[in-house]
């Protein structure tokens, strides 16, 4: 038992000695030199770079009078004629403004324009619309599209040439067929066109109601048939005496919708 107690005392002595050794080692190992704080030299003072947008930010916006903000009437969306001309231009249909009419007889075009030409893909030249018919915007769009999509390709197919122009008549302030007491003609509100003739790039011409070469007759017959798909009324030579020398097309409704067509 005495030996065991002595052994325990020996272990304690050794442990204390080793703790002192480590404590001394830790003190020597972790002793850090004092930290010296160095203050960097002062930098020279420089003015901040000029801000090229400073004036834009600091200057108050100018207050313009209300009249200066108003755009010309032809450029405003509230002007239906200007809006129509812009829409037609986007469709390669050239038109100019027409003077609005006021008539007690009911000869009033809602959105009057004059149809000038139809622009075609290069190298083809524009199709000139002789007479510059005064039409409502809806009719100018429909007729211009008809010339570009139907008549011009038919000219290529039947006559092997380009359509150069079309001679037309537009606005007439009168009743149908000039008969007293009859309803007002579609011409009176700008939704009708009378086609008198077609001219072509090679110098040829097809006059409606006049005898001509067989290929010209076939061309006009195809144009007349196709017109019934675009317009609600198509009248030409053979329909009556009033249309013996031209082809009349219009957008007049003959019923509740535009499905009812008169093609003669």
pLDDT, average across residues 186-202: 95
Range of the domain at 207: 70-263
Tokens at 11, concatenated: 């272990």
| 141, 91 contact by CB (below 8 A) | yes
Of 214, 253, 217, 213, nearest in space to 237 by CA:
217
Angle between the 214-227 and 152-159 helix axes, to the nearest 10 degrees?
150
| 156, 124 contact by CB (below 8 A) | no
pLDDT, average across residues 160-168: 97
**pLDDT per position as a tens digit, 131-162:** 899 999 999 999 999 999 999 999 999 999 99
Q: Does any domain span residue 206?
A: yes
Q: Does any domain span residue 54?
A: no
Q: Does any domain span residue 8?
A: no
Q: Does any domain span residue 23?
A: no
Of 180, 108, 98, nearest in space to 134 by CA:
98
Q: Does any domain span residue 181?
A: yes
d(CA 174, CA 186): 9
d(CA 21, CA 66): 94
What pLDDT was estimated at residue 89? 97
How many structural domains does the chain have? 1
Q: Does any domain span residue 248?
A: yes
Of 131, 130, 124, 129, nearest in space to 201 by CA:
124
Is the pLDDT at 180 greater than 60? The verdict is: yes
d(CA 191, CA 112): 10
Is the pLDDT at 241 greater than 50? The verdict is: yes
Q: Does any domain span residue 133?
A: yes
Is the pLDDT at 66 greater than 90? The verdict is: no
Tokens at 133, concatenated: 């018919």
DSSP string, 68-127: HHPPPGGGSTT-HHHHHHHHHHHTTEEEEE------TTS---SSEEEEEEE--STTSPPE
Is the pLDDT at 61 greater than 90? The verdict is: no
Task: Specify the higher pLDDT residue, 100 or 41.
Answer: 100
Is the pLDDT at 196 greater than 80? The verdict is: yes
The pLDDT-based confidence of 69 (bands split at 50, 70, 90) is very low
Peptide bond into 21 cis (omega under 30): no
Residues 6 or more apart in contact with residue 156 via CB below 8 angstroms: 162
| 181, 166 contact by CB (below 8 A) | no
Instruction: Please report which helix (H) or strand (E) contains residue 216, including its range.
Output: helix 214-227
| 129, 168 contact by CB (below 8 A) | yes
d(CA 251, CA 230): 9
């Amino acid at each position: 038992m005495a030996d065991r107690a002595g052994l325990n005392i020996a272990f304690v002595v050794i442990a204390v000695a080793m703790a002192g050794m480590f404590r001394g080692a830790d003190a020597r190992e972790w002793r850090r030199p004092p930290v010296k704080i160095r203050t960097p030299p002062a930098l020279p003072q420089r003015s901040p770079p000029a801000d090229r947008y400073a004036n834009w930010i600091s200057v108050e916006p100018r207050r313009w009078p209300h009249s200066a903000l108003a755009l010309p009437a032809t450029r405003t969306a509230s002007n239906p004629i200007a809006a129509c001309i812009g829409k037609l231009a986007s469709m390669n249909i050239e038109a100019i403004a027409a003077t609005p009419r006021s008539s007690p007889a009911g000869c009033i075009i809602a959105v009057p324009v004059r149809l000038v030409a139809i622009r075609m893909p290069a190298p083809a030249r524009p199709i000139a619309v002789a007479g510059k018919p005064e039409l409502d915007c809806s009719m100018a769009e429909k007729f211009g599209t008809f010339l570009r999509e139907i008549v011009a390709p038919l000219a290529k197919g039947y006559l092997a040439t380009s359509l150069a122009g079309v001679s037309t008549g537009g606005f007439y302030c009168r009743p149908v067929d000039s008969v007293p007491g009859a309803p007002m003609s579609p011409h009176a509100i700008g939704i009708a066109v009378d086609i008198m003739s077609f001219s072509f790039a090679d110098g040829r011409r097809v006059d409606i109601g006049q005898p001509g070469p067989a290929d010209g007759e076939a061309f006009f017959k195809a144009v007349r048939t196709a017109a019934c798909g675009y317009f609600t009324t198509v009248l030409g030579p053979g329909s009556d005496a009033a249309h013996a020398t031209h082809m009349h097309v219009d957008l007049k409704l003959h019923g509740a919708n535009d499905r009812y067509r008169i093609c003669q």
